[in-house]
């Protein structure tokens, strides 16, 4: 079995859990390859018992990997997908951060969780992604022109609203007067979109949500659409440019640039352990339906 490991930060007191993970994998004769910068962080903070191979770019990965561990929080998982991309390698998130809505393996439960994974007691939750293209073409995004949570357009360097002219499959929908617009996957529905009043969408739903950010036209409400639609956006405003964010990656585009958004042909495979589910996570992490009367 071959497993890749990625992390962004070395959280305080997380060393014992990283060492526990590496020890368990070593005892089970698992081949471990660690992202180069994260391996350097581990070596700088802990004395690990063996040397490990490393990778540093997407091109160094292939389909010989059976699994990928993301160590951190949900933001780390969003960075992990920029390595995995369309390889189909299942990702398991170990939460050493705070909420951990996507990173559902708790650091205190690593041993039991790894036992379940090594014994194939898990299933895959396939998550859709969004792709962005622009007219005229932009080099801003490079090959990282996709997002698992959301693609959002928003105002830049001004307190003035922007106008987001929006069409679906070439048919005009509306013009949002707002601070911006969030185009969200089901995975991203519990993130930025939710905080702006968007609905919670089940991960296996084949939908996209359009959620305006602080809209001035108060009859503009979040809209759920089928994910086979192509969304076309054109932004105007007092500034010459506006911001586009793909998950946590922020770029700048010129006004009147045409943005086209649709789902990618590939999905990201998230590991869900036996006994876990999206609904359990919803109740546990977001206190869904919590009421002192229950």
- CA distances to 58, 129, 168, 188, 279 from 226, rounded to whole Å, are 30, 13, 10, 15, 22
72 is in an annotated binding site: no
149 is in an annotated binding site: yes
**Dihedral of the alpha carbons of 76, 38, 246, 160, in degrees to the nearest 10:** 90
195 is in an annotated binding site: yes
User: Which residues neighbour 77 within 8 Å (Cβ) at sequence distance 6 or greater?
Assistant: 70, 91, 93, 102, 103
75 is in an annotated binding site: yes
CA distance 78 to 184: 14
Is 74 marked active-site? yes
The catalytically annotated residue of 37, 62, 66, 74 is 74
Using DSSP, state whether 103 is helix, strand or coil. coil
193 is in an annotated binding site: yes
Q: Are strands 31-35 and 53-55 parallel, antiparallel or unpaired?
A: parallel
User: Do 147 and 246 contact (CB within 8 A), yes or no?
Assistant: yes
194 is in an annotated binding site: yes
List, in sequence order, every beta strand (DSSP E) within 169-240.
Answer: 171-178, 180-184, 207-213, 223-226, 231-237
Among 228, 232, 212, 208, CA closest to 220: 212
The residues that are catalytic are 74
Residues flagged as binding site for NAD(+): 74-75, 79, 149-150, 179, 190-195, 214
């Amino acid at each position: 079995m071959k497993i890749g490991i990625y992390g962004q930060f070395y959280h305080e007191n997380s060393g014992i859990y990283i060492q526990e993970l590496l020890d368990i994998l070593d005892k089970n004769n698992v081949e471990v390859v660690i992202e180069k910068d994260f391996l350097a962080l581990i070596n700088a903070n802990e004395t690990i018992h063996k040397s490990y191979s490393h990778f540093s770019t997407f091109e160094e990965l292939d389909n010989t990997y059976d699994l990928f561990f993301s160590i951190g929080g949900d933001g780390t998982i969003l960075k992990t997908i920029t390595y995995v991309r369309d390889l189909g390698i299942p990702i398991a998130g170990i939460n050493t951060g705070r909420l951990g809505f996507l990173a559902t393996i708790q650091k205190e439960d690593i041993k039991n969780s790894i036992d379940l994974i090594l014994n194939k007691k898990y299933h895959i939750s396939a998550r859709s992604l969004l792709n962005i293209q622009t007219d005229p073409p932009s080099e801003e995004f490079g090959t990282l022109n996709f997002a698992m949570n959301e693609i959002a357009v928003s105002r830049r360097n001004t307190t003035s609203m922007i106008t987001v002219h929006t069409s679906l499959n070439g048919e005009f929908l509306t013009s949002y007067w707002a601070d911006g617009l969030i185009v969200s996957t089901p995975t991203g529905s519990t993130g930025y979109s939710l905080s702006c009043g968007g609905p919670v969408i089940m991960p296996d739903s084949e939908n996209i949500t359009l959620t305006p950010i602080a809209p001035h036209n108060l009859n503009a409400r979040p809209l759920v659409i089928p994910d086979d639609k192509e969304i076309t956006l054109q932004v105007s405003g007092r500034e010459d440019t506006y911001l586009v964010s793909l998950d946590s990656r922020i770029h700048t585009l010129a006004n009147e640039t045409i943005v086209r958004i649709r789902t990618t042909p590939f999905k990201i495979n998230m590991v869900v352990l036996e006994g876990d589910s999206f609904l359990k996570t919803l109740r546990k992490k977001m206190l869904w339906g919590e009421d002192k009367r229950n």
